[in-house]
Amino acid sequence: MKKIVVLFSGEGSNLSYLLQQLHKKKLEIAAAITNNPEAGGIAIAREYGVPVEIVDHRDFADRDTFDRELVKRIENYSPDLTVLAGFMRILTPLFAESVRAINLHPSLLPRHRGLDAIRRSWEDEQPEGGVTVHWVSAELDGGEMILQYELEKEGFESYEEYHDAIRRIEKEALAEAICDVLKCD
């Protein structure tokens, strides 16, 4: 069975979805790693018996030192793939060159790279928004695209409705991309 390591920073909703849909069914989530000691996803991973590692970026002098430690921790699990699922760190070339990783981004790249992508997508003039799963590269949200899910903005009466819809489809897109890459279907 293929193994992945999931990196996350927040509530862990994407991690939760992957645990429910894929873990021990189509692949094994060998570990979950967070940079945030207060992340809600820690409890979710532990509920499933998945090892959790906390690598707090604030404990490191710079990005390279943090990424070096992060790469070391990931390599301890020998994953077939590393999945960034709401991991809110800009990674260095050292990470991109050392780890086979994909990232979930909540916009149709190349539009809206970086932070606050859902809001910027909602406010732009395009009739659709969506999500992208792409390979991690040294360029922020710039790696080769694996897949995109589009969502028409028409019909949403508020940003909150649109935001919630994006958050729903991103989970499905991420699971599909993981299985496409690992051929786990």
Q: pLDDT tens, 59-80? A: 999 999 999 999 999 999 999 9
What's the predicted TM-score (pTM) here?
0.96
pLDDT of residue 141: 93
Closest CA to 105 of 96, 122, 97, 117: 117
Helix ranges, the chain (H): 13-21, 41-47, 63-75, 93-98, 117-123, 159-182
Pick left, alpha or beta for residue 29 (phi over 0 → left; psi -120 to 50 → alpha; otherwise beta). Answer: beta
User: One of 23, 57, 105, 163 is an active-site residue; which one?
Assistant: 105
DSSP 3-state of 65: helix
105 is catalytic: yes
